[in-house]
Structure 1
Amino acid sequence: MQKQSELIKQLSDRELMKQVIVTQLLLAGASLVLSLVFFGNMNVWLDLFHMQVYEMAYYGLLTGVIIVIVDLFLMAIFPKTYYDDGGVNERLFHNRSILGIFGLALAAAVSEELLFRGVIQTTFGYVIASVLFAVIHIRYLTKPVLFISVLMVSFYIGYMFDITKNLAVVILAHFTVDFVLGLIIRFRKGGGRVAHRNKR
């Protein structure tokens, strides 16, 4: 874990952003390849997307808002070091435009939910997908509060998918969390408090 942290610190902001983009492309590519392996065709994806306004608002948007509120509460009561991700999210979002934050949050939400809910949860179940989602956030493994927070969020979003069987819902929930927390990082004064789960 320490080695990864040191490697990240050696990257310029531009190189860090390239790494994030490559990671999201790899996750999206893996989800497409694995969907062909496990599902046999791409039609299954179409069955997992339902653009129902009520469902998306209630299970997607509201879920995202609840997660953000709980996150902000926990960040207010725990010492800053408990939520410190090594400054990665600060570097990714602090000087980024709103459109840039939107694009980064959307890319992460789509690629990660396609893989973890669309493929892994659909194939192997809720628990495995939720745990794997948390574990891939390697830099959080040495931060118990941060890791448990990500794990609980993963189970919560996974449960929303279990209820709805709708990838649009979980993508919206994930996007809402990352976009709002990214905006908070971007616009807060004095730096430092929301160093959380946004993007890898």
Structure 2
Amino acid sequence: MKRKSQSELIMEMNDREITLQLILTQLSILILALIGSAFLFDAFWADWSSQFDFHTTELLVYGVIPGLMVLLIDLFLVYRLPQRMYDDGGINVKVFKNRSSISIIGITLLVAVSEEMLFRGVLHAEFGYVVASVLFAVMHIRYLTKIVLLVSVLFVSFFIGYMYEVTGNLLVTIVAHFLIDVVLAFWIRFGKWGEVDE
């Protein structure tokens, strides 16, 4: 019997099941970040608190502006490349097309916080820029057979990782990650993306 792909499994799920799986996955990533930091950090609370700095100019220059740049590139590619090159098997459309605005904000914020805490806050801080950026891209396994999506996620990973490399501020990467995800999710929910991919 042929094993089902991630895309096929997600297509069989209803909205409630998808929400539950998303939340469980992201909470697992968050717990992994906390457990990893407990073993790897010299001073757990001090090492975490040193990575969160609410500095408005820094958040704008290294979080919001890079996030908007990634969005412009993404949207340009979506409308310039053939649909098959940017198709993730309909997973993102399935995840976001019927979701409420509050749910979109909540899920994309949870994704940004949990993934940035693990990949930048722990892995980047302890093992460096390249290791964390590559592992972040590999985590998006469904993109590995789609060259445009793979290059896109690698670019975003290294770009956001560079913002962390420059600032050492997790809030910067969380803002950039959240901005990218939430705008693309709303684009899928209310814009043309969902119409194109369906």
TM-score, normalization by structure 2: 0.93
For structure 2, the 5+ residue unaligned runs are: none
Amino acid at match of 2:28: L
Residues of 1 paired with 2:181 and 2:170: CA distance?
17
Structure 2 SS opposite 1:95: coil
Residue identity in the other structure for 1:153: V
Gaps of 5+ in 1: 196-200
Percent identity between matched residues is 49
Q: Does 1:112 align with 2:115?
A: yes
1:102 equivalent to 2:97? Answer no
Counterpart of 1:3 in structure 2 is: 5
1:48 aligned counterpart, secondary structure:
coil
Q: Output the amino acid matched with 2:69.
A: I
Contact kept in structure 2, 1:36 and 1:42, CA below 8 Å: no
Q: Which stretches of structure 1, 4 residues or more, deviate above 4 A after TM superposition?
A: none
* Paired residues of 2:7 and 2:91 also in contact (CA < 8 A): no
Q: For the Cα contact (< 8 Å) 1:75–1:193, is it kept in 2?
A: no
- The partner residue of 1:34 within 30, 33, 36 is 36
Distance in 1 (alpha carbons) for counterparts of 2:190 and 2:196? 12
Aligned mates of 1:5, 1:190 — CA distance in 2: 18
Is 1:135 the counterpart of 2:138? The answer is yes
**TM-score, structure 1 as length reference:** 0.92
Q: Measure the CA separation in 1 of the matches of 2:68 and 2:22.
A: 24
8 A contact 2:11–2:94 mirrored in 1: no
Q: State how far apart, in whole Å, the 1-side matches of 2:68 and 2:152 are.
A: 15
The correspondence of residues 178-197 of structure 1 with structure 2, limited to 5 A, is 178-189=181-192, 191-193=194-196
In the superposition, relative to structure 1, how do residues 8 and 161 fare at CA in structure 2: closer, same or farther (>3 Å)?
A: same
Determine whether 1:75 maps to 2:75. Answer: no
Shift of 1:191: 2.7
Q: Deviations over 1:1-51 (max 9, x none)?
A: 963222222222221121111110000000000001000422200000100
Root-mean-square deviation over aligned CA pairs: 1.7
The whole-number CA distance in structure 2 between the counterparts of 1:101 and 1:152 is 24
Within the candidate set 6, 13, 16, 1:14 is matched to 16
Give the letter for the 1:183 counterpart: F
Superposed counterparts of 1:144-159, under 5 Å: 144-159=147-162
